[in-house]
Structure 1
Amino acid sequence: MAISVPADASGRAGRQEVAVVRHPIADARNVVVGYELRFGGSIDLGDPSMDAKATSALLVEAFGDIGLETLAGRHPAWVTIARNFLVEIGPPPVRPDRAVLQVKAYHARDDLLQILQRLSRQGYTIALDEWEGDMTTNVEELMSLCSIVRVDVSRLSVDELPRVLRIPRMQGALLVATEVGDYAAFERCKALGFTYFQGEYFAQPRTFKHRGVATAGLGALRRLAELSTGDVSFEDLERIISSDVGLSLKLLRYVNSAFFSLPRNVSSVHEALSLLGVRTVSRWATVMVLASIPDTPDELIALGLRRAHMCEILAGQSSNEEREMLFTIGLFSVADALLDMPMADVLESLPFTEEIQAALLRHEGPKGELLAAVASYERGEFPTLPSTDSRPTMAGAYRAALEWADETGRAIA
């Protein structure tokens, strides 16, 4: 999530924009157990050469501006902390039960070890990051203070991993596999005894089903094809939703939730359409159909929602049609993972224009380039887009999209 820290009341431009994205950490069932916060711009909490005091001031402003609840919800925030920061400043402004402090595996000095011992006694959970199996006396002492060990599995071969995991296993550490690229790597890591997993695997199809689509997937594609028609009418939308009892009940529950805070209860699909309009209900129904696909991780739906709204926001003052198209592109960018199908096969069943197909398949054209920039930002690469008066910053767009996606996810759950 990106944090925009404004100038202070005197108009000084002393405060800087701080960009931070959250990366989910999940268990073997794809249930999120925490979010790692990765900072960009002027803050790098893992940089041993940083100005700790200046960074601390910005970090306090950032956490105060956005709030930990928005950054990580009910889950702990996993944050990499450099030695300089811990020695000069101490832990970040987060309660011990709301944070996991990550320290990189290297030859720790005595002052850092003493600080970590104190933080451990205060209740902080400490994780050893970037462990590759190189043990020395100081690293051994550092590991003894860490109840969690993180291993970048993309940098190690399958044959190397047992050696790397031997000492953490002996010490009973909880093992976290990071940079897990696909479901094949996920399954290998599970077999090796990792407990938590982090990477892009959850946004990838588990197995490609060329031409052979499960019944639930076929039903979802048919419904999506009907809902994705740009000129769907009030009558058509009412028919589509009313013909699906589950979808109708979910719509009424959604409309009557605190998300809308309507003055009276809505009791029919027709009334919901009249109150909210075709565009809002059609968008909601599309999201609900995607979310209804069996075995769909909540975080994958959240990713689609976040991309959709971020793409829409970055459209600036474009026409409603352009904004809606970008929302659709962002939402359907995870359709291949949702349906376990190649994106080309998904698109064959949907009435999308060549422009939308090119954006989703190959990131071509202005809309495809925007989607690629959004995905890059999510990975913590922090690209920039040409600034205009009508377009917010990438940081501001990510923040707004994260808040909206989390709120929407709670409403449709």
Structure 2
Amino acid sequence: MFAFIARQPILDKSKSVFAYELLFRDGKAGAYPEHNEEKAKYISEHFHPLGLDDISGEKTSFITFSSDTLISRFPTTLNPESVVVELADPTENTSGLFEACQHIKQLGFKLAIDDPMMVGATHDIFPLIDIVKVDVTKTRFETIEKHIPRYHDANVQLVAEQVDTQDNFSTCVDLGFDFFQGYFFSQPEARILRQLPASKMNIVDLMGESSNNNFNIERISHIIERDATLSFLLLKFINNPTINKRYKITSLKHALNYMGEVEIKKFIALLSLTNLGDDKPLEIIHMSLVRAKFFDLLAERRGIKNNPPISFLVGLFSLLEGLLDQSMTDILKQLPLSDEVNDALLGKNLELNSYMTLVRAFESALWMNVIKQAKVLNIDQKQLHMLYNQAIVWGNGVRSAISSHYPRATA
């Protein structure tokens, strides 16, 4: 049961998500929290706590545990096939820690440690370790290059942490890391002023319609019907159980009658974004989905009008720089979005600036920033967690609808 969490993706060399690291607000330094029975019941009753499947989908979860938890209170409900146990402090000489790790390994769990200085081979516990995480901002690349062979010789997989640029990602691949944690995948590879290809003009037209006050169903139908992929994906999105559990939708006009104008605008925006960034990692689309839903829920909670769904669109398009490898200013010159959406994407809307600060706080587990923005927006911080959880579940559902269509990213 996890109500107050952040998750950070860990990607493989092809930039596909291998796992999510879960960071817990109620645990020391993000470790697994130990709720007493009364608090657990309160969370369950008030905040619709998530399970691991809700948070990480079908992906592995990295969870940090304190030595005390590993020795005497390790949760028996966790699945060793989907959870990697990360040690909070592998150098701690706590009596019974080595034996506890042996037992956890016997249960089938993989063990991971944070080892920023790459001295793990000197730890007594090293022979039990499957994965080592290295903060590349704290360790010189020369040191990493020197030590990596002995980790590979020991069949230990390596995760590079704090990989925040495409150049750092390329360097870490060359050094021999297996996995990569950081938001490099959402950063532009190179800021190049270039025109969007003609093949994307259908997509650009849809993006414009999504932010238009005037809704022209005939024009939208025409755009979608002349592209078989768009038609297929729209119906697949709308018939996803996360979105629609009751009726089989067979056409755009049918969808409009069932869902209404605002929801259709959201989905044509989602459709356009998915196809605009089809050579990028799926996780950047997934982050955009979560942001879009979170912004939408915040706007609803704040009583802000949503036709066109400005908040949703701003969240959805907030990572366009990483998708198109251009500055936001250059991108917006090529897209027929409304002035209101453009201004918000350029940081000129105070309300949506708060949303942006807040979602980045959740993504990075900056809990003090969450508290600050809760006051700015006059929303209880625990309610914000609930809204963010809803956005995660929604994003996971939509991702499942597009993942079979989506190509693997180019490395």
TM-score (norm 2): 0.84
Is 1:191 the equivalent of 2:151?
Answer: no
Distance 1:118 1:247 in 2: 51
**Residues 340-378 of structure 1, C-alpha deviations (whole Å, 9 max, x = no match):** 221111111234455543432347522112212211221
Q: Which moved more, 1:394-403 or 1:228-237?
A: 228-237
Q: Contact conserved, 2:284 with 2:319, CA < 8 A, in 1? A: yes
Is 1:122 the equivalent of 2:107?
Answer: yes
Output the aligned Cα RMSD.
3.0
Distance 2:270 2:326 in 1: 18
Deviation, 1:213, is: 4.0
Is 1:36 the equivalent of 2:26?
Answer: no
Q: Contact conserved, 2:262 with 2:306, CA < 8 A, in 1? A: no
Is 1:151 the equivalent of 2:141?
Answer: no
Is 1:376 the equivalent of 2:361?
Answer: yes
- What is the match of residue 295 of structure 2? 311
Deviation, 1:332, is: 0.6
Classify the secondary structure of the residue corresponding to 1:230: coil
Q: 1:407 aligns with which of 378, 397, 404?
A: 397
Q: 1:232 aligns with which of 206, 215, 220?
A: 215
Distance 1:23 1:342 in 2: 24
Q: Contact conserved, 1:130 with 1:151, CA < 8 A, in 2? A: yes
Q: 1:77 aligns with which of 61, 65, 72?
A: 61
Question: What is the identity percentage for the equivalent residue pairs of Structure 1 and Structure 2?
Answer: 25
Distance 2:344 2:218 in 1: 30
- What is the match of residue 156 of structure 2? 173
Q: Which moved more, 1:165-174 or 1:284-293?
A: 165-174
Distance 1:266 1:100 in 2: 40
CA 1:177/1:333 → structure 2, altered by over 3 Å: closer, same or farther? Answer: same
Is 1:102 the equivalent of 2:86?
Answer: yes
Q: Contact conserved, 1:100 with 1:125, CA < 8 A, in 2? A: yes
Deviation, 1:46, is: 5.7
Residue 319 of structure 1 aligns with an amino acid whose one-letter code is: I
Structure 2 unaligned regions, length at least 5: 404-411
Residue 294 of structure 1 aligns with an amino acid whose one-letter code is: D
CA 1:82/1:60 → structure 2, altered by over 3 Å: closer, same or farther? Answer: farther
CA 1:356/1:266 → structure 2, altered by over 3 Å: closer, same or farther? Answer: closer
Q: Contact conserved, 2:211 with 2:338, CA < 8 A, in 1? A: no
Deviation, 1:84, is: 2.1
Classify the secondary structure of the residue corresponding to 1:260: coil
CA 1:58/1:246 → structure 2, altered by over 3 Å: closer, same or farther? Answer: same
Runs of 4+ in 1 over 6 A off after TM superposition: 59-64, 389-392
TM-score (norm 1): 0.84
Distance 2:2 2:325 in 1: 30
Q: Contact conserved, 1:26 with 1:197, CA < 8 A, in 2? A: yes
Deviation, 1:221, is: 3.4
CA 1:155/1:230 → structure 2, altered by over 3 Å: closer, same or farther? Answer: farther
Q: 1:86 aligns with which of 65, 70, 75?
A: 70
Deviation, 1:173, is: 0.5
- Higher relative contact order (CA closer than 8 Å, sequence separation 6+): 2
Deviation, 1:249, is: 2.6
Q: Contact conserved, 1:107 with 1:136, CA < 8 A, in 2? A: no
Structure 1 unaligned regions, length at least 5: 4-18
Distance 1:308 1:392 in 2: 20
Q: Which moved more, 1:99-108 or 1:218-227?
A: 218-227
Classify the secondary structure of the residue corresponding to 1:159: helix
Deviation, 1:209, is: 2.2
Q: Contact conserved, 1:181 with 1:200, CA < 8 A, in 2? A: yes
Count of aligned pairs: 391
Residue 54 of structure 2 aligns with an amino acid whose one-letter code is: T
**Residues 21-59 of structure 1, C-alpha deviations (whole Å, 9 max, x = no match):** 11111211122121110011x322666xx9x86569867
Distance 1:60 1:203 in 2: 38
